[in-house]
Amino acid sequence: MRYISTRGQAPALTFEEAMLSGLARDGGLYVPETIPHMSAGDIRALNGLSYEETAFRVMRPFVGDGFTDEVFADLIAKAYAGFGHNARAPMVQLAPNHFLLELFHGPTLAFKDFAMQLIGQLFQEALERRGERVTIVGATSGDTGSAAIEAFKGLDNVDVFILYPHGRVSEVQRRQMTTPLESNVHALALDGHFDDCQARLKDMFNHFEFRDSVRLAGVNSINWARVLAQVVYYFSSAVSLGAPDRKVSFTVPTGNFGDIFAGYIAKRMGLPIDRLVVATNQNDILHRCLSDGAYQTSQVHPSISPSMDIQVSSNFERALFDAYDRDGKAVGQLMDELKQGGFKVSQGALEALREHFDSARVSEDETLAMITHANATMGELLCPHSAIGAKVGEDMRDPATPMITLATAHPAKFPDAVEKASGLRPPLPNRMADLYERSERVTQVPNDLTALETLIQERIAK
């Protein structure tokens, strides 16, 4: 299995190379050259398997020879051992024919643990075999950073530095980043916004001398291995509702388009998915684009669902690549236009996108109202992101096809919004109940490239 860039100008790589490099050298994102197919019989055979066994069968064809069957199965087992629920991704029912897929039982209480825990294991194994060491630097608005720290802490061949905007993440998110004691973990509170964190990260990747000297690696959501790990729960949930002999639809609270793109891959592999519904908050560039074809950036408006507050949805490039019949030149041109503020999707490509994706936008008031409603009538306390999904799932579900809404974070991760809507302050799960008592370790850093690079170099020299 080889991986090619969405801009068509970078060399094809193996799974392992694509995972370790993250972004392609032509600025594009890696996608599999061909999509492996699972027959109806293959899918039916997933019935009754554990999450780990399902994960092995779904991901194996994408991974290639870098990892043996035995090693790959072992890494999957380790990745999910720390989850707080045996089913890993359990489902509950919200309403007739509407189901909630709980993806928040991992160590940092958000769905990002599914991918991050696995790539932590895959990185460690690959680097050990190669006798290499890397420095992971990530920028986060909260959830990605905590998931990355949790996944890479204590691993021998990796240092992990996370830049988060000082004073702009929730207390639970901050504590998840600042309380791990392992010496390879470095939480950096940057004086600035999330956009500044992301800009400095990009600067580091573009500063080749620094990049090479520390062996910089990226684990943000454009890393193909993260998308792949998320394909699994589309299969596990659909099979438990009768796939492949019954179609299902999914509603996905969406920011960077990584999670829902995994659903699209599942569909391309042969999972009978009817609709994939993109649910956005007030930062609705994807909903606007799927409605009229105009992909136009505007300012980010901070919301109560901060993990979906995005200006540009980076994984959308992968969907565009297919919608433009895998024409890397055309995609490169769109991305050039994006630098000037936006682009218009061609009529043909828009029709291709709409064959798979629907979309809807949920306002702040509607989000709070849904948390209230779900608590009162569905017996479910939802985080604001999941509430956006559930609202859209309710509006879009039809009697013929089960709707599965993805719950992307635990309500205790966003207690203020949940309490405002429901009057209830959701407690942390027992296994992390002492989070508020643990001592914190964090370095405040200026919004300055040279200062950051110096700090990183000093820390990894120790």
| Rounded Cα–Cα distance for residues 283 and 351 (Å) | 23
Nearer to ligand PLP, 307 or 367 (CB): 307
Under the criterion CB under 6 A, does residue 409 sit at the interface with ligand PLP?
yes
Nearer to ligand PLP, 66 or 429 (CB): 429
| DSSP code per residue over 307-362 | GG--SS-TTHHHHHHHHTTT-HHHHHHHHHHHHTTEEE--HHHHHHHHTTEEEEE-
Minimum CB separation from ligand PLP for residue 142, in Å? Answer: 7
Nearer to ligand PLP, 192 or 389 (CB): 389
Minimum CB separation from ligand PLP for residue 294, in Å? Answer: 20
| Rounded Cα–Cα distance for residues 336 and 87 (Å) | 44
Minimum CB separation from ligand PLP for residue 312, in Å? Answer: 11
Query: Of 78, 112, 344, 420, which one is the catalytic site residue?
Result: 112
The SS3 call for residue 251 is strand
| Rounded Cα–Cα distance for residues 82 and 270 (Å) | 30
CB 149 within 8 A of CB 172: no
Minimum CB separation from ligand PLP for residue 116, in Å? Answer: 11
Tokens 């890696």 identify what position? 30
One residue of 236, 280, 307, 375 binding ligand PLP per CB under 6 A? 307
Interacting stretch for ligand PLP, rule CB under 6 A, among 62-70, 241-249, 251-259, 268-276?
Answer: 251-259
Q: Does 420 participate in catalysis according to the annotation?
A: no
One residue of 16, 113, 125, 259 binding ligand PLP per CB under 6 A? 259
- Which residues in 210-229 contact ligand PLP (CB under 6 A)? 221
- For residue 349 the two structure tokens come to 């490509």
Query: Beta strands 98-102 and 134-139: pairing type?
Result: unpaired
Tell whether the torsion through CA atoms of 56, 61, 67 and 70 is positive or negative.
positive
Minimum CB separation from ligand PLP for residue 246, in Å? Answer: 26
The SS3 call for residue 63 is helix
Under the criterion CB under 6 A, does residue 110 sit at the interface with ligand PLP?
yes
Under the criterion CB under 6 A, does residue 391 sit at the interface with ligand PLP?
no
Nearer to ligand PLP, 126 or 308 (CB): 308
Encode 135-158 in three state secondary structure: EEEEECCCHHHHHHHHHHCCCCCE
Using CA atoms, how far residue 47 sits from 41, 83, 400, in Å, is: 10, 21, 22
Under the criterion CB under 6 A, does residue 143 sit at the interface with ligand PLP?
yes
- Residue count at the site for ligand PLP (CB under 6 A)? 16
Under the criterion CB under 6 A, does residue 150 sit at the interface with ligand PLP?
no
Nearer to ligand PLP, 180 or 253 (CB): 253
| Rounded Cα–Cα distance for residues 347 and 324 (Å) | 10
Nearer to ligand PLP, 124 or 249 (CB): 249
Minimum CB separation from ligand PLP for residue 9, in Å? Answer: 25
The SS3 call for residue 187 is strand
Interacting stretch for ligand PLP, rule CB under 6 A, among 184-192, 257-265, 351-359, 434-442?
Answer: 257-265
DSSP 8-state code for residue 89: S
Under the criterion CB under 6 A, does residue 343 sit at the interface with ligand PLP?
no
Which residues form the catalytic set? 112
Positions in the binding site for ligand PLP (CB under 6 A):
110, 112, 143, 221, 253-259, 307-308, 385, 408-409
